[in-house]
Amino acid sequence: MDHSLAAMPSDPSRPSQSVPNPYLQHPPARTGPRDPGDAWVEGAQGRFWGRFGAAGVLAYDPDRGVLLQHRAEWSHNGGTWGLPGGALHQGEDPVTGALREAREEAAVPGESVSVLFTSVLDFGYWSYTTVVLLVTDPFEPVISDPESIELLWVPLADVAGKELHPGFGAAWPELRIRMLSLAEARR
């Protein structure tokens, strides 16, 4: 998908208008080859996206909070708040995959963040890696694909009040503690 139009600045001479996203309820039609990792896997713990696993980023800016993605209704656990991320490509390490997905979905610039730690949920047949990032140079996220309804910097005290993706919701308390401890150590 060509994401170049999604990142174009608006025309300052025209008043800001909300343009309905046609992909909020239904995914866009595929127009090219899929990556071999773009598939469901099933096992004793359930059904998960990403033949080679999946990964996402939890970007933390001490001045603004964490970057969350309001997931499109048609996506798995649609309508919930989670992390920019997705299926890993074959042979791709989780940090590289998470940064790629965050760039594709939210225009997260890799040069503006540093890795604090990773946390892995591993079911044997499928795994999810959360890559926790410290923002070193503030940036504004941009919805750059149809998987997001909204991208928002959420203050830490407000995260638990959102309708969170179940996996992220379960992991958030421990991720928060570790993130704050390591971020403070870097200051």
Q: From the centroid of its chain, how far is CA 87?
A: 11
Q: What is the pLDDT of residue 39?
A: 85
Residue 30 counted as domain residue? no
Residue 2 counted as domain residue? no
Residue 162 counted as domain residue? yes
Nearest to 95 by CA among 110, 112, 76: 110
Domains: count for the chain: 1
Residue 143 counted as domain residue? yes
Residue 56 counted as domain residue? yes
Residue 23 counted as domain residue? no
Residue 49 counted as domain residue? yes
Q: For the chain, first and last CA: distance in Å?
A: 39
DSSP 3-state percent helix, strand, coil across the chain (nearest 5): 20, 30, 50
What are the angstrom distances between the C-alpha of 50 and each of 60, 132, 139?
A: 25, 20, 28
Domain around 144: 40-186
Residue 45 counted as domain residue? yes
Residue 6 CA to residue 28 CA, distance in Å, equals 15
Q: What is the pLDDT of residue 180?
A: 96
Residue 82 CA to residue 56 CA, distance in Å, equals 9
| CATH code for the domain of 150 | 3.90.79.10
pLDDT tens for the chain, 187 residues long, are 222 223 333 333 433 333 345 555 555 555 555 788 888 899 999 999 899 999 999 999 999 999 999 998 888 888 999 999 999 999 999 999 999 999 999 999 999 999 999 999 999 999 999 999 999 999 999 998 888 899 999 999 999 999 999 999 999 999 999 999 999 888 7
